[in-house]
Amino acid sequence: MKKSSAVLLAVWLLFSLTACGSTPASTKPADSPAPAGSSAESDGTEGRTSLESEAETLASTLPGIDRAGNEIAIPKETNKIVSLTPAVTGLLCDLGLSGRIVCVDPDSRETIKDLEADIAVCDPLSPDIPKLLSLAPDIVFTDAPMAPSGQNLYQAAVEAGICVAEIPPSHTLGNIEDDIQFVADCVGKTMEGETIVADMEIDIQKTASIGRTISDPKTVLFEFSGLPSIQSFGTGVYLNEMLEIIGAKNVLAQEIGWVSLEEEQALEANPDVILTACAGQDADAVEEILNRPGWENITAVQNLEVHAIDRSGCLIPNQHIIGTFHEMAAAVYPQDYHDN
């Protein structure tokens, strides 16, 4: 079986879990006058102290390293953001920050609906550095900072004083949650990030509690491209983790990462269920699988257990992966997850 690079997943993101809190300045009761010369009304000292305290708290909670382990210096204010990965772009929009985004990657432009119509677009694998510099961003989020040659594609931006934060592809749901918190921390939305992650965990644990009751796991083949070379995945991919949590078994669990397999290998695996995320490329992906010559004896085909899963939902690892979670669970075990 040939392993292929996770080009499908060159969409995504870096984030580190950080907590944020601020301590309000102490104030006196309204009916207890402060000594002359010490009130905020008299010289503004208390007001300045409060603002300075909040600024110091924010600065102390900003991440000092990105999700790839690189040291970064995030400015206290991130009013102009470049997001070159759809997972981060979608998260920023959900955090109410779409108005701060000044440039995105082509996939974000195509898949995220909350962006300005005339927003600038930049290829993360071949960034137009002069264009980025002209936008004067406070921070750049990217998941692909290095060229195949090993050259840092954003070195000129870093040397110009722009904070470039790398978010490598996430391999687990825990990675995704940490990525979300990292981005939220970077843009001053720590509490909102904590809420998103907490809501994800509630969904995951609810699904897991049902998955643990499945006594006879169904085997699943998950296709991302069809014949002649089927693209799928083994362990070390968050989608495999999701299959396990819902109580299913990946027929390629013995493989690692993203893989391609020949038709004979798929037939030999004889899955109980086939999930396909090829629908974004071929609207008739389910019918194509059901009518493949020589596949009529596959259990999934015989039982009409072939189901389409939203492609972009699978491949954008942020909080919306929970929607894919529900899709997968309902497709594989409709009776068990009908209320989930």
Same domain, yes or no, for 164 and 96? yes
pLDDT in tens, 66-108: 999 999 999 999 999 999 999 999 999 999 999 999 999 999 9
Same domain, yes or no, for 146 and 220? no
pLDDT band for position 252 (cuts 50, 70, 90): very high
Same domain, yes or no, for 159 and 219? no
Q: Which of 56, 46, 48, 45 is closest to 21 using CA atoms?
A: 56
CATH assignment of the domain containing 96 = 3.40.50.1980
Residue-averaged pLDDT of the chain:
85
Domain assignment present for residue 51? The answer is no
Same domain, yes or no, for 133 and 219? no
pLDDT in tens, 203-233: 999 999 999 999 999 999 999 998 998 999 9
What are the Cα distances from residue 272, in Å, to 148, 205, 302, 338? Answer: 39, 25, 9, 19
Domain assignment present for residue 180? The answer is no
The residue out of 168, 183, 200 marking a domain boundary is 168
pLDDT band for position 51 (cuts 50, 70, 90): very low
Q: Which of 338, 325, 334 is closest to 245 using CA atoms?
A: 325
pLDDT in tens, 145-198: 777 777 789 999 999 999 999 999 999 999 999 999 999 999 999 999 999 999
Number of domains in the chain: 2
Domain assignment present for residue 281? The answer is yes
Same domain, yes or no, for 158 and 241? no
pLDDT at 5 over 50: no
pLDDT at 48 over 70: no
pLDDT band for position 13 (cuts 50, 70, 90): very low
Q: How far apart are CA 7 and CA 149, in angstroms?
A: 17
Domain assignment present for residue 115? The answer is yes
Q: Which of 264, 249, 329, 334 is closest to 295 using CA atoms?
A: 264
The predicted model gives 252-268 an average pLDDT of: 95
∠ Cα 69 143 192 (to 5°): 80
Same domain, yes or no, for 224 and 162? no
pLDDT at 35 over 50: no
pLDDT at 4 over 50: no
Element (H, E) at 158: helix 155-159
The residue out of 130, 149, 168 marking a domain boundary is 168
Same domain, yes or no, for 220 and 164? no
pLDDT band for position 282 (cuts 50, 70, 90): low
Q: Answer left, alpha or beta for residue 44, where phi above 0 means left and psi between -120 and 50 means alpha.
A: left
Domain assignment present for residue 9? The answer is no
Domain assignment present for residue 55? The answer is no
Same domain, yes or no, for 141 and 219? no
Same domain, yes or no, for 141 and 238? no
Q: Give the model's pLDDT for residue 315.
A: 92
What are the Cα distances from residue 158, in Å, to 129, 133, 137, 143, 152? Answer: 10, 10, 11, 15, 10
Its pTM stands at: 0.81
Domain assignment present for residue 30? The answer is no
The residue out of 168, 192, 227 marking a domain boundary is 168
Q: How far apart are CA 171 and CA 272, in angstroms?
A: 25
Residue 194 one-letter amino acid: E
Question: What domain range is 112 assigned to?
Answer: 81-168
Residue 173 one-letter amino acid: L
What are the Cα distances from residue 73, in Å, to 89, 97, 104, 290? Answer: 21, 20, 21, 53
Same domain, yes or no, for 119 and 227? no
Same domain, yes or no, for 156 and 225? no
Q: Give the model's pLDDT for residue 281.
A: 56
Domain assignment present for residue 250? The answer is yes
